[in-house]
Structure 1
Amino acid sequence: MNSDRLIKNFSRCIDWEDKYLYIISLGEKFACLPPEEQVPGNAISGCQSKVWITVNVVDGKIELAGNSDAALVKGLVAMVIIVLSGKTPDQLLETDIKKIFADMGLALQLTPARNQGLESMIRTIYSQVQALS
Protein backbone atom coordinates (compact mmCIF):
# COMPACT_ATOMS: atom_id res chain seq x y z
CA MET A 1 0.00 0.00 0.00
CA ASN A 2 1.21 3.51 -0.77
CA SER A 3 -0.22 6.98 -0.20
CA ASP A 4 -1.86 7.16 -3.65
CA ARG A 5 -3.69 3.88 -3.03
CA LEU A 6 -4.64 5.04 0.47
CA ILE A 7 -6.15 8.27 -0.86
CA LYS A 8 -7.96 6.45 -3.67
CA ASN A 9 -9.44 3.82 -1.34
CA PHE A 10 -10.37 6.47 1.22
CA SER A 11 -12.20 8.53 -1.39
CA ARG A 12 -14.26 5.48 -2.38
CA CYS A 13 -15.82 5.26 1.06
CA ILE A 14 -19.42 6.40 0.91
CA ASP A 15 -19.60 8.33 4.17
CA TRP A 16 -17.62 8.97 7.34
CA GLU A 17 -18.86 5.81 8.99
CA ASP A 18 -17.32 3.83 6.12
CA LYS A 19 -14.15 5.93 6.34
CA TYR A 20 -13.82 5.22 10.08
CA LEU A 21 -14.25 1.49 9.41
CA TYR A 22 -11.62 1.72 6.69
CA ILE A 23 -9.20 3.52 9.03
CA ILE A 24 -9.75 0.85 11.69
CA SER A 25 -9.12 -1.92 9.12
CA LEU A 26 -5.84 -0.23 8.14
CA GLY A 27 -4.75 -0.37 11.76
CA GLU A 28 -5.41 -4.10 11.88
CA LYS A 29 -3.22 -4.63 8.79
CA PHE A 30 -0.42 -2.07 9.09
CA ALA A 31 0.04 -1.08 12.76
CA CYS A 32 1.80 -4.10 14.21
CA LEU A 33 4.56 -3.06 16.58
CA PRO A 34 5.58 -6.07 18.71
CA PRO A 35 4.88 -5.80 22.45
CA GLU A 36 8.61 -5.78 23.29
CA GLU A 37 8.94 -2.51 21.34
CA GLN A 38 5.96 -0.89 23.07
CA VAL A 39 8.22 0.71 25.63
CA PRO A 40 8.39 4.23 27.07
CA GLY A 41 11.23 5.17 24.69
CA ASN A 42 8.93 4.58 21.71
CA ALA A 43 5.84 6.18 23.27
CA ILE A 44 4.34 9.29 21.70
CA SER A 45 3.46 11.94 24.24
CA GLY A 46 0.46 14.16 23.62
CA CYS A 47 -1.93 11.35 22.72
CA GLN A 48 -4.95 10.39 24.82
CA SER A 49 -4.45 6.77 23.80
CA LYS A 50 -1.23 4.87 24.20
CA VAL A 51 0.80 5.13 20.98
CA TRP A 52 4.22 3.74 20.14
CA ILE A 53 6.17 4.42 16.96
CA THR A 54 9.65 3.35 15.92
CA VAL A 55 11.71 5.09 13.25
CA ASN A 56 14.51 3.15 11.59
CA VAL A 57 16.64 3.53 8.48
CA VAL A 58 16.93 0.40 6.35
CA ASP A 59 18.96 0.59 3.13
CA GLY A 60 18.74 4.39 3.19
CA LYS A 61 14.95 4.47 3.57
CA ILE A 62 12.79 5.23 6.57
CA GLU A 63 10.86 2.32 8.00
CA LEU A 64 8.16 3.11 10.51
CA ALA A 65 6.31 0.72 12.77
CA GLY A 66 3.70 1.56 15.34
CA ASN A 67 0.75 0.52 17.41
CA SER A 68 -1.91 1.90 19.72
CA ASP A 69 -4.28 0.57 22.33
CA ALA A 70 -7.26 2.25 20.59
CA ALA A 71 -8.66 0.93 17.29
CA LEU A 72 -9.18 4.27 15.54
CA VAL A 73 -5.83 5.65 16.68
CA LYS A 74 -4.16 2.43 15.55
CA GLY A 75 -5.67 3.15 12.13
CA LEU A 76 -4.30 6.70 12.18
CA VAL A 77 -0.87 5.27 13.04
CA ALA A 78 -1.24 2.95 10.05
CA MET A 79 -2.10 5.89 7.78
CA VAL A 80 1.02 7.74 8.90
CA ILE A 81 3.11 4.61 8.31
CA ILE A 82 1.64 4.14 4.81
CA VAL A 83 2.29 7.75 3.78
CA LEU A 84 5.80 8.09 5.21
CA SER A 85 7.49 4.66 5.20
CA GLY A 86 9.82 3.72 2.37
CA LYS A 87 11.01 7.26 1.71
CA THR A 88 14.52 8.55 2.09
CA PRO A 89 14.91 10.94 5.02
CA ASP A 90 14.92 13.92 2.63
CA GLN A 91 11.79 12.70 0.83
CA LEU A 92 10.01 12.17 4.13
CA LEU A 93 10.91 15.64 5.38
CA GLU A 94 9.61 17.13 2.12
CA THR A 95 6.29 15.27 2.42
CA ASP A 96 3.48 17.52 3.63
CA ILE A 97 1.49 14.84 5.42
CA LYS A 98 -0.70 17.44 7.10
CA LYS A 99 -1.83 18.65 3.68
CA ILE A 100 -2.47 15.09 2.52
CA PHE A 101 -4.65 14.45 5.55
CA ALA A 102 -6.36 17.85 5.22
CA ASP A 103 -7.17 17.12 1.58
CA MET A 104 -8.76 13.86 2.75
CA GLY A 105 -10.92 15.86 5.18
CA LEU A 106 -9.52 13.92 8.09
CA ALA A 107 -8.85 16.83 10.46
CA LEU A 108 -12.45 18.03 10.20
CA GLN A 109 -13.81 14.66 11.30
CA LEU A 110 -11.49 13.94 14.22
CA THR A 111 -12.00 15.25 17.72
CA PRO A 112 -9.58 17.95 18.87
CA ALA A 113 -7.85 15.38 21.10
CA ARG A 114 -7.38 12.97 18.17
CA ASN A 115 -6.06 15.80 15.99
CA GLN A 116 -3.62 16.76 18.74
CA GLY A 117 -2.45 13.15 19.03
CA LEU A 118 -2.02 12.87 15.26
CA GLU A 119 -0.01 16.09 15.30
CA SER A 120 2.18 14.68 18.09
CA MET A 121 2.85 11.51 16.08
CA ILE A 122 3.82 13.50 13.00
CA ARG A 123 5.96 15.98 14.91
CA THR A 124 7.81 13.17 16.71
CA ILE A 125 8.52 11.27 13.49
CA TYR A 126 9.76 14.35 11.63
CA SER A 127 11.93 15.32 14.59
CA GLN A 128 13.49 11.86 14.77
CA VAL A 129 14.11 11.80 11.01
CA GLN A 130 15.73 15.25 11.17
CA ALA A 131 18.04 13.94 13.90
CA LEU A 132 19.05 11.06 11.60
CA SER A 133 19.92 13.38 8.69
Structure 2
Amino acid sequence: MTPQKVLQNFQRCSNWEDKYLYLIELGDRFCILPLNEQTNDHKIRGCQSSVWITLTPNDNLIHLAANSDAAIVKGLLALIIIAYDQKSRQQIAEFDIDAWFEQLGLTQHLTPTRSIGIATIIKQVQLMSNV
Protein backbone atom coordinates (compact mmCIF):
# COMPACT_ATOMS: atom_id res chain seq x y z
CA MET A 1 0.00 0.00 0.00
CA THR A 2 1.33 3.43 -0.88
CA PRO A 3 0.26 6.95 0.14
CA GLN A 4 -0.85 7.53 -3.47
CA LYS A 5 -3.03 4.40 -3.43
CA VAL A 6 -4.63 5.51 -0.15
CA LEU A 7 -5.36 8.92 -1.71
CA GLN A 8 -6.97 7.25 -4.74
CA ASN A 9 -9.09 5.03 -2.50
CA PHE A 10 -10.14 8.02 -0.37
CA GLN A 11 -11.20 9.87 -3.52
CA ARG A 12 -13.39 6.92 -4.51
CA CYS A 13 -15.35 7.15 -1.25
CA SER A 14 -18.62 8.99 -1.78
CA ASN A 15 -18.86 10.56 1.69
CA TRP A 16 -17.06 10.89 5.00
CA GLU A 17 -18.82 7.92 6.53
CA ASP A 18 -17.28 5.73 3.79
CA LYS A 19 -13.88 7.35 4.39
CA TYR A 20 -14.08 6.65 8.11
CA LEU A 21 -15.03 3.02 7.41
CA TYR A 22 -12.04 2.75 5.05
CA LEU A 23 -9.80 4.29 7.72
CA ILE A 24 -11.04 1.72 10.26
CA GLU A 25 -10.38 -1.06 7.73
CA LEU A 26 -6.80 0.21 7.25
CA GLY A 27 -6.34 0.21 11.02
CA ASP A 28 -7.48 -3.39 11.29
CA ARG A 29 -5.15 -4.35 8.44
CA PHE A 30 -1.97 -2.47 9.36
CA CYS A 31 -2.01 -2.03 13.15
CA ILE A 32 -0.70 -5.35 14.31
CA LEU A 33 1.43 -4.98 17.40
CA PRO A 34 1.68 -8.03 19.66
CA LEU A 35 0.25 -7.60 23.15
CA ASN A 36 3.65 -8.26 24.70
CA GLU A 37 4.93 -5.09 22.96
CA GLN A 38 2.00 -2.95 24.13
CA THR A 39 3.89 -1.85 27.21
CA ASN A 40 4.56 1.44 28.96
CA ASP A 41 7.95 1.55 27.22
CA HIS A 42 6.19 1.76 23.85
CA LYS A 43 3.22 3.90 24.93
CA ILE A 44 2.95 7.40 23.45
CA ARG A 45 2.15 10.07 26.02
CA GLY A 46 -0.17 12.96 25.22
CA CYS A 47 -2.96 11.00 23.52
CA GLN A 48 -6.47 10.48 24.83
CA SER A 49 -6.47 6.94 23.46
CA SER A 50 -3.87 4.36 24.33
CA VAL A 51 -1.27 4.25 21.56
CA TRP A 52 1.78 2.00 21.34
CA ILE A 53 4.54 2.30 18.74
CA THR A 54 7.67 0.33 18.10
CA LEU A 55 10.30 1.50 15.68
CA THR A 56 13.27 -0.65 14.77
CA PRO A 57 15.97 -0.11 12.17
CA ASN A 58 16.47 -2.93 9.70
CA ASP A 59 19.13 -2.65 6.95
CA ASN A 60 18.96 1.18 6.91
CA LEU A 61 15.17 1.04 6.77
CA ILE A 62 12.80 1.74 9.62
CA HIS A 63 10.23 -0.86 10.63
CA LEU A 64 7.23 0.75 12.29
CA ALA A 65 4.51 -1.12 14.16
CA ALA A 66 1.67 0.40 16.15
CA ASN A 67 -1.68 -0.20 17.77
CA SER A 68 -4.37 1.68 19.65
CA ASP A 69 -7.47 0.91 21.65
CA ALA A 70 -9.55 3.30 19.46
CA ALA A 71 -10.68 2.33 15.94
CA ILE A 72 -10.25 5.75 14.29
CA VAL A 73 -6.84 6.23 15.94
CA LYS A 74 -5.81 2.80 14.64
CA GLY A 75 -6.78 4.01 11.17
CA LEU A 76 -4.71 7.15 11.56
CA LEU A 77 -1.80 5.04 12.83
CA ALA A 78 -2.20 2.86 9.72
CA LEU A 79 -1.70 5.99 7.61
CA ILE A 80 1.51 6.77 9.50
CA ILE A 81 2.66 3.18 8.98
CA ILE A 82 1.89 3.40 5.25
CA ALA A 83 3.83 6.65 5.04
CA TYR A 84 6.89 5.63 7.08
CA ASP A 85 7.25 1.83 7.38
CA GLN A 86 10.16 0.29 5.46
CA LYS A 87 11.48 3.74 4.56
CA SER A 88 14.91 5.21 5.15
CA ARG A 89 15.44 8.07 7.56
CA GLN A 90 15.89 10.36 4.55
CA GLN A 91 12.61 9.22 2.98
CA ILE A 92 10.81 9.82 6.28
CA ALA A 93 12.33 13.30 6.56
CA GLU A 94 11.39 14.16 2.97
CA PHE A 95 7.79 12.92 3.08
CA ASP A 96 5.38 15.77 3.87
CA ILE A 97 2.82 13.88 5.92
CA ASP A 98 0.93 17.08 6.80
CA ALA A 99 0.39 17.84 3.11
CA TRP A 100 -0.72 14.24 2.53
CA PHE A 101 -3.23 14.47 5.40
CA GLU A 102 -4.47 17.71 3.84
CA GLN A 103 -4.90 15.98 0.46
CA LEU A 104 -6.86 13.23 2.19
CA GLY A 105 -9.08 15.89 3.73
CA LEU A 106 -8.35 14.66 7.24
CA THR A 107 -7.27 17.99 8.65
CA GLN A 108 -10.74 19.50 8.64
CA HIS A 109 -12.48 16.28 9.73
CA LEU A 110 -10.51 15.51 12.87
CA THR A 111 -11.44 16.96 16.22
CA PRO A 112 -8.88 19.39 17.65
CA THR A 113 -7.97 16.86 20.36
CA ARG A 114 -7.42 14.09 17.82
CA SER A 115 -5.40 16.44 15.57
CA ILE A 116 -3.11 17.29 18.47
CA GLY A 117 -2.75 13.61 19.36
CA ILE A 118 -1.85 12.62 15.79
CA ALA A 119 0.65 15.50 15.55
CA THR A 120 2.21 14.24 18.79
CA ILE A 121 2.45 10.71 17.40
CA ILE A 122 4.01 11.90 14.12
CA LYS A 123 6.54 14.03 15.99
CA GLN A 124 7.41 11.10 18.25
CA VAL A 125 7.90 8.75 15.27
CA GLN A 126 10.13 11.32 13.58
CA LEU A 127 12.16 11.72 16.78
CA MET A 128 12.43 7.97 17.23
CA SER A 129 13.71 7.64 13.65
CA ASN A 130 16.18 10.49 14.20
CA VAL A 131 14.87 12.75 11.42
Name the TM tier (shorter chain). Answer: over 0.9
Deviation per residue, 1:37-82 (Å, 9 max, x gap): 1011111111110001111111211111000000111111111101
Alignment gaps of 5+ in structure 1: none
What residue in structure 2 maps to residue 102 of structure 1? 102
* Contact residue 93 and residue 129 of structure 1 kept, 8 A: no
Shift of 1:112: 0.7
* Contact residue 38 and residue 52 of structure 1 kept, 8 A: yes
* Contact residue 7 and residue 103 of structure 2 kept, 8 A: no
* Contact residue 31 and residue 78 of structure 1 kept, 8 A: yes
What residue in structure 1 maps to residue 128 of structure 2? 128
Paired AA for residue 47 in structure 2: C
Paired AA for residue 79 in structure 2: M
State the secondary structure of the residue aligned to 2:129.
helix
TM norm structure 1: 0.95
1:116 aligned to 2:116? yes
Deviation per residue, 1:75-111 (Å, 9 max, x gap): 1111110111121111111111111101211010011
Query: After the TM superposition, which residues 11-30 of structure 1 pair with which residues of structure 2 at under 5 Å, given as runs?
Result: 11-30=11-30
What residue in structure 2 maps to residue 39 of structure 1? 39
**How many residue pairs align between the two structures?**
131
Paired AA for residue 66 in structure 2: G
Alignment gaps of 5+ in structure 2: none
Cα RMSD for the two superposed structures: 1.0
After the TM superposition, list the runs of 4 or more consecutive aligned residues in structure 1 that deviate by more than 2 angstroms: none
- 65-74 or 4-13: which moved more? 4-13
* Contact residue 23 and residue 72 of structure 1 kept, 8 A: yes
Task: Provide the rounded CA distance (Å) in 1 between the counterparts of 2:62 and 2:7.
Answer: 21
Task: Provide the rounded CA distance (Å) in 2 between the counterparts of 1:7 and 1:83.
Answer: 12
